[in-house]
Amino acid sequence: MKYKYIPVIGMEVHIELSTESKMFCECPAFHFGVKPNTQVCPVCLGLPGALPYPNKKAIEDTIKFGSVFGCKINSISKFDRKHYFYPDLPKSYQISQYDLPFCHDGKYLLPDTNEKIGITRIHLEEDTGKLIHKKIGGTKYSFVDFNRSGVPLLELVTEPDFRDLIDVSSFLKEIQLIARYLGISAADMEKGSMRLEANISVAKVENNSLKELPKYKVELKNINSFKFLEKALKAEIQRQKEMLEMGEKIIQETRGYNESSGNTFSQRTKEEEKDYRYFPEPDIPPIEVSKKEIDEIILSKGLLHSDFRKILRDEYSLPLNYVEYLIGKKSRVEYFINSVKKGKKFSISPKTLADLIVNNKFDEKYEDTSKLIQAVQNLQKKVYSGTKEVDKAALRVIKDNKKAVEDFKKGKTEVVGFLIGMVQKILKGKGNPKDIQKSLLSRLQK
Ligand SMILES: [Zn+2]
């Protein structure tokens, strides 16, 4: 009997928050392109005796983010120590959250398929330093830059609800837009302010139903782009399917992806939770967030890309590709909405404005929406045909529509509308209605 196999995928998404200071000290959090080890202090270097104090803004950002997914917000949360050894982690533990994260049990409905993705938890932790590997004079060296050490890092963990790769990338793009619209992170994959890990297993389907989730999962780490993720997932799903078909057992481990060979490779067997020896961070008391504070944070959220998606699609009836392009950037969609409001006074349709922004990048040409509206008006004037062309078309229409001309002369003046339409047809809609009427009447009334 041949079984059918389907992938079971869960995602872990790390997002670096763009707060001014780091998670537990006053050092600046922005570290891209900054000279190594210039933004450090005893706290983020993990020197003995240094005391961490949490960043309020980072906590608010996390709760705001969690509210988008309808998460339950814990009124009491705490930080915990997660122990492991690595050269970019000087304390040999990371301050993270274990059993009381700020947010848990949420969900997200994917825009195209309405597929429900369960959000297990969203917690806050500190980022690690960064290892830089360099070859100097033929010798390999590794350097550590601690500027990133202690930068607030939000982690979102989903349920293993993904069954195909399109849903995974659709979800991740939504996450990226949510972080950007909330203004909590640039969520830039290339720079590493958004990082992904995937948990993958393959399940056997019998009689079209998935009886139970697999008892193992393989973690894919160090994924730095959506394309890379898709390739790595495909390769890993294939590997697992082949193993299952051969009757082999798949072990729980962490794997990486080699782009040139197109295969995943074993990095290490996966740690279990008990290996981290979590315990409450003794230097930071539990954090209480009141109902009132939570409500205020949620109220300050503003409109998200999904709200604009609805407005553009349902109120302005724009084509889907236009909608997705416009909402791709918050500043762009706000510019568009602003220009629609100004254009309304001059009967410029949302579709016209969307055309010019999507196809001709008018938003980049005219920073000020008033200037954009002016440009559109000039453009609309220019598209009218000259009076010579209008006269020529009017003459032809009068010649070709003798019956209508006779009717007009008998007093049926309403046929003018029909004649104007015929002239517009010749001019492909580019005639100024006033010019056409004038030209027709001067000939009809002779
Ligand atoms: Zn510091």
CA–centroid distance, 150 to ligand 1, in Å, is 7
| pLDDT tens readout for residues 290-339 | 999 999 999 999 999 999 999 999 999 999 999 999 999 999 999 999 99
26 CA distance to ligand 1 centroid (A)? 6
Q: Report CA(222)–ligand 1 centroid distance (Å).
A: 26
CB-based burial of residue 214 (10 Å sphere; 0-12 exposed, 13-18 middle, 19+ buried)?
middle
Closest C-alpha to 200, from 144, 160, 256, 172? 160
What is the Å distance from ligand 1's center to 53 Cα? 11
| 278 Cα–ligand 1 center, Å | 23
Distance in Å, CA 130 to ligand 1 centroid = 15
Beta carbons within 8 Å of 65's beta carbon, 6+ residues apart: 15, 103, 122, 154, 156, 178, 179, 182, 184
Residues 6+ apart with CB under 8 A from 307: none
Q: What is the dihedral of CA 407, 411, 413, 419, to 10 degrees?
A: 20
Contact present, 327 and 308 (Cβ < 8 Å): yes
Tell me the CA–centroid distance for residue 6 and ligand 1, in Å.
46
Q: Residue 411: its pLDDT value, please?
A: 87
Q: What is the pTM of this model?
A: 0.83
Query: What integer pLDDT is reported at residue 210 of this predicted model?
Result: 79
* Contact assessment for residue 153 and residue 15, using Cβ atoms and an 8 Å cutoff: yes
- Give pLDDT, residue 354: 94
CA nearest to 174, candidates 117, 220, 128: 117
Maximum separation of any 2 CA atoms in the chain, in Å: 103
Give CA–CA dist 354/108, Å, rounded. Answer: 28
CA torsion through residues 38, 43, 47, 50, sign: positive
Å from CA of 353 to ligand 1 middle: 48
Q: What is the pLDDT of residue 268?
A: 78
| Alpha carbon distance 400, 422 (integer Å) | 10
How many A from CA of 47 to the centre of ligand 1? 10
Q: From ligand 1's centre to the CA of 12, what distance in Å? A: 26
Q: What is the distance between the alpha carbons of residues 430 and 418, in angstroms, rounded to a whole number? A: 16
Q: How far from each other are the two terminal CA atoms of the chain, in whole angstroms?
A: 90
With 0-12 / 13-18 / 19 or more C-beta atoms within 10 angstroms meaning exposed / middle / buried, residue 137 is exposed
Give 46 Cα–ligand 1 centroid separation in angstroms: 9
- Distance in Å, CA 432 to ligand 1 centroid: 67
Ligand 1 mean position to 45 CA, how many Å? Answer: 7
39 alpha carbon to ligand 1 midpoint, in Å? 7
Q: Are 365 and 359 in contact (CB under 8 A)?
A: no
- Gap from CA of 55 to ligand 1 centroid (Å): 12
**Distance in angstroms (rounded) separating the CA atoms of residues 15 and 38:** 23
**How many angstroms separate the alpha carbon of residue 41 from the centre of ligand 1?**
4
For residue 147, how far is its CA from the centre of ligand 1 (angstroms)?
Answer: 8
406 CA from centroid of ligand 1 (Å) = 90
Question: What is the 128 CA–ligand 1 centroid distance (Å)?
Answer: 12
Per-residue pLDDT of the chain (446 residues; tens, 9 = 90+): 556 889 999 999 999 999 999 999 999 999 999 999 999 999 999 999 999 999 999 999 999 999 999 999 999 999 999 999 999 999 999 999 999 999 999 999 999 889 999 999 999 999 999 999 999 999 999 999 999 999 999 999 999 999 999 999 999 999 999 999 999 999 999 999 999 999 999 998 887 777 788 889 999 987 888 999 999 999 999 999 999 989 899 999 999 999 899 999 998 776 677 889 999 999 999 999 999 999 999 999 999 999 999 999 999 999 999 999 999 999 999 999 999 999 998 889 999 999 999 998 989 999 999 999 988 888 877 666 778 889 999 999 999 999 999 999 888 888 888 999 899 888 877 788 888 989 999 988 87
CA of 25 from ligand 1 middle (Å) equals: 5
pLDDT score at 445: 82
Contacting residues for 170 by C-beta, under 8 A, at least 6 apart: 110, 111, 112, 113
Nearest Cα neighbor of 159 from 69, 74, 62 is 69
Q: Separation of 351 CA from ligand 1 center, angstroms?
A: 50
Interval between CA 218 and ligand 1 midpoint (Å): 35
CA of 92 to the centre of ligand 1 (A): 16
Q: What is the pLDDT of residue 270?
A: 63
Distance 30 CA to ligand 1 centre (A): 12
Residue 385, amino acid:
S
DSSP 51-75: -----HHHHHHHHHHHHHTT-EE-S
Give the C-alpha separation, 31 to 132, whole Å: 14
Ligand 1 centroid, distance to 97 Cα (angstroms): 20
For ligand 1, the distance from its centroid to the CA atom of residue 148, given in whole angstroms, is: 9
